[in-house]
Chain A
Amino acid sequence: MSSPISRRHFLKTSFFAAGTAIAGTSTAKAASTFDADKEPLVTLIDISRCIGCEECVYACQDANAHKFADPKKPFPKMYPDRVPVEDWSDRRNVTDRLTPYNWLYIQYASATTKEGEKITLTIPRRCMHCQNPPCVKLCPWGAAKQEKNGLSRIDSQICLGGSKCKKACPWDIPQRQTGTGLYLDLLPAFAGNGVMYKCDRCYQKIEKGEQPACIEACPEDVQTIGKRSDIIKKAKDLAKEMDGYIYGLDENGGTNTIYVSPVPFDQLVYDTGEGKPHMHPVEDTMAAGSNLAIAMVIAPIAGAAAAVGKYYRQMKEEA
């Protein structure tokens, strides 16, 4: 982290501490809010408030630095040759995209308002924390997990870095760092390729009843966290108030991150690509599987019924 940011962060933290002392412990308040709730936690991101200062980005890096990989080089050779080495360990300062060392970045989007004014919006982007997260549900080892409070995270002790979660994620969120994790102790040449990293919604802070670092650090109160029903109501009210638009309510069957924008999401112009997620509509990726679950209930009943039918025919024949 560069020193100006550290200074800014220090000032911000001191300010926050002072504010906390004056206003009573906001942390304690957060704790009581989070502990009592049985509903998943959802964050509301009001894009119109974000000034793109990146305080959240650096707060995220600070709060989660202890989780980042420290891979030893050279990495073991992997076979076949097509297996990509993905190494971000020498580029930890990159903040203009998602990386294994940067779980939140600010996406710049240009748009034209209803009044015809050209504006630039800055959008904090990170894992959406899907309600039914394919990254978690389709992980073949159970390395990714979802908690009752709705957050999903990847266990860096178990992940083998096969990147299936990234391919399954509609936004390609998880990012791989080669040369770290369990695969090194198994067959590093032939299976696995590191560990996948993404926003884990500061689970260690949530556990203590604190707010995620990016929310705490934001000078503009861009994000609000709370139980699902409350936040959805808030998001709808806010969208109504600003005559705005919502993203995340239905995407991928619903996510625990709701964006509200003053401009329609399909009119935002922004860079996408590796580590830079889109904001397109997303169908529920897990729906087909969930529907087939019904077939799995019906099939054995049909099979048994067919056998019973056959038996009765035989009985008749024998009689």
Chain B
Amino acid sequence: MVYHFKSRRMVYGLTLFFIALSGFAQMPIFKRYYIADIPGLGWLAQFYVTHVIHYAVAALLMGFCAYVAFDYFFGRRNSGTKKFQITKDTRITASARVKIAALCGLILTGCFMVVKNLSGIYFPHGVVIGLDLLHLVLAMVLLGATAYTWVRGRSWIF
């Protein structure tokens, strides 16, 4: 198992935590179920705060994903010397493929939703509903896969 990239994993973990939290906070549930009453979590019921946090963390996540993806792409050109953590022999695990697919879907649907939220942009109603639901389902897939890989100790690459 490859347990490199400690700092990378930490950044990803934190980003995922906050983007998921602020994402679920888009639904009016945290107030209803007393979670926003927990000291320090009141912001979860403030929709403009969670909206901005979700956007800001999404920007971070996209920057991070771009870095990791390009790093992997270029790293695969490296010869198999021990010096590099990613080389031409590096492979992506099956569970990571699921997570990557979900992440790509989330980023794609998310981008459309950001565009939809700009002034003067009108998407057909069915498309908006589709994007909302798909974004939610993909988030569940990503979190499910993340929970699975965490419990089973699966890495992204081998």
Contacts and interface: CB of A to CB of B under 8 A. Distances in A.
Contacts of B55: 289, 292-293, 295-296
B32 A303 contact: no
A193 B18 CA distance: 27
A310 interface: yes
A137 to B, nearest CB: 5
B122 A146 contact: yes
Contacts of B128: 142, 145
A7 interface: no
B71 interface: yes
Given A137-B116, A164-B28, A303 B66 contact: yes
B129 interface: yes
A155 B128 CA distance: 13
A141 B28 CA distance: 11
B65 A303 contact: yes
Contacts of A295: 55-56, 59
Is the contact region of chain B dominated by helix, strand, or loop, or is it mixed? helix
B64 interface: yes
A31 interface: no
A188 to B, nearest CB: 13
A142 B131 contact: yes
Interface in B111-132: 111, 114-120, 122, 125, 128-129, 131-132
Interface in A149-171: 155, 158, 162-164, 167-168
Contact of B63 (A285, A289, A303): A303
Given A289-B51, A299-B60, A142 B132 contact: yes
Interface residues of B, number: 49
B3 interface: no
Interface in B125-153: 125, 128-129, 131-132
A80 interface: yes
Given A299-B60, A302-B63, A141 B129 contact: yes
B74 A307 contact: yes
A306 B28 CA distance: 38
B12 interface: no
B67 interface: yes
A140 B133 CA distance: 9
A303 B62 contact: yes
B119 A304 contact: no
Given A137-B117, A191-B29, A285-B48, A296 B62 contact: yes
B118 A132 contact: yes
B117 A82 contact: no
Given A164-B28, A286-B119, A314 B66 contact: no
10 smallest beta-carbon distances between A and B, as pairs:
A303-B66, A307-B70, A299-B63, A303-B67, A132-B119, A311-B74, A142-B129, A162-B28, A300-B66, A303-B63
25 contacts: A82-B34, A131-B120, A132-B120, A140-B132, A142-B132, A146-B122, A155-B125, A164-B28, A167-B47, A286-B119, A289-B117, A292-B55, A292-B56, A296-B62, A296-B111, A296-B114, A299-B60, A301-B66, A302-B63, A302-B66, A303-B67, A304-B69, A304-B70, A314-B78, A317-B83
Interface of B: 26-29, 32-34, 47-48, 51-52, 55-56, 58-60, 62-71, 73-75, 77-79, 81, 83-84, 111, 114-120, 122, 125, 128-129, 131-132
Given A140-B28, A303-B67, 19 more contacts: A80-B33, A138-B117, A140-B132, A162-B28, A163-B28, A164-B47, A167-B47, A168-B48, A288-B48, A289-B52, A289-B114, A296-B114, A300-B62, A300-B65, A303-B64, A306-B67, A307-B69, A308-B74, A318-B81
